[in-house]
Amino acid sequence: MNLKVILIDDEPDAIDVIESIIVDKKEDYKIVAKTTNPIEGIGLILKHKPDVVFLDIEMPEMNGFQLLESIPNIDFEVIFATAYENYAIKAIKENALDYILKPATIPEVLSALEKAKSKRQQEKVDLSKYTEFLDDIKTNRFQRIKIPTSNGFELIESDDLIFIDADGAYTTAHFKDNEELIISKPIKQIESLLNSENFFRIHRSYIVNKNHIKRFARDKYALIMIDDSVIPISRRRYDAFMDFIDK
């Protein structure tokens, strides 16, 4: 039996790696669709009704968890893909779900596929495990975040964080007490550590905490934060941000 597989990842190289591994096992698995756009991914899942979905966690516009919440009936196995040992890994493990770390290796991908195949042969997908997993992600605020610095790491309270801005390979965290923390990692890696319920990347160089937004200034096309910082909104991300705020 060929299992139908869909690949959803915003990095084309990551898709290519997994695709090349699956092609060599074409007698067992068939890639029916792939996309770098998570919103398009929802439509592909509903259209093709896959057995297995490789799903990237960190994606712009919509992350992997938000994508799953948009599917009315999860009747497929999910293999999460992430580049970092982030806050979601514990929840994934506790709910007996599967994941691979990027860059993916042949043994990891094949092992994940074999687990998915075994589950498909033995039982129907347990929808409750995904419901419980998504609830865990949403309700766990992950208040204390481990932030890497040039001299080790710091544990910070996420509620104290107003926004983050990027400067090349470094980022700066801005806090309620007017303190700043220079972080020796790019903004995408820091984004993966933050709870997507509260934080949103509104621009390639900025992540904001929705709890510390004072107002939206249409004339400046920017957010005014509680410390009066003016944060520009990317026009490409505006609609997704407004949906995020409305939710």
Beta partners for residue 95, in sequence order: none
Q: Is the model more confident about 106 or about 131?
A: 106
**The pLDDT value given to residue 142:** 41
Answer whether 15's CB lies under 8 Å from 7's CB: yes
105-110: average pLDDT = 94
In tens, the pLDDT along 188-246 reads: 888 877 876 789 999 999 999 999 999 999 888 999 999 999 999 999 999 999 988 88
Cα–Cα distance between 243 and 115 in angstroms, integer? 36
Q: What is the mean pLDDT of the chain?
A: 87
Answer whether 48's CB lies under 8 Å from 33's CB: yes
**Cβ neighbours of residue 202 under 8 Å, at least 6 residues apart?**
208, 223, 231, 232, 233, 234, 237, 241
Q: Residues spanned by CATH 3.40.50.2300 within the chain?
A: 3-139
**Cβ neighbours of residue 151 under 8 Å, at least 6 residues apart?**
none
**The pLDDT value given to residue 92:** 85
Q: Percentage of the chain surpassing pLDDT 70?
A: 93
Handedness of CA 187, 192, 198, 203 (dihedral sign): positive
Q: Give CA separation, 193 vs 50, 189, 230, 237, in Å.
A: 29, 7, 24, 20
Cα–Cα distance between 206 and 70 in angstroms, integer? 26
Cα–Cα distance between 84 and 6 in angstroms, integer? 22
Level-2 CATH architecture, domain 144-246: Beta Barrel (2.40)
- For the chain, how many residues are written? 247
**The pLDDT value given to residue 141:** 43
Tokens read off for 131: 């419901």
**The pLDDT value given to residue 139:** 61
Tokens read off for 32: 């029916």
Q: Does domain 3-139 have CATH number 3.40.50.2300?
A: yes
**DSSP 8-state symbol, 102:** S
In tens, the pLDDT along 53-84 reads: 999 988 877 889 889 999 988 989 999 998 77
Q: Residues spanned by CATH 2.40.50.1020 within the chain?
A: 144-246
CA–chain centroid gap for 238, Å, is 18
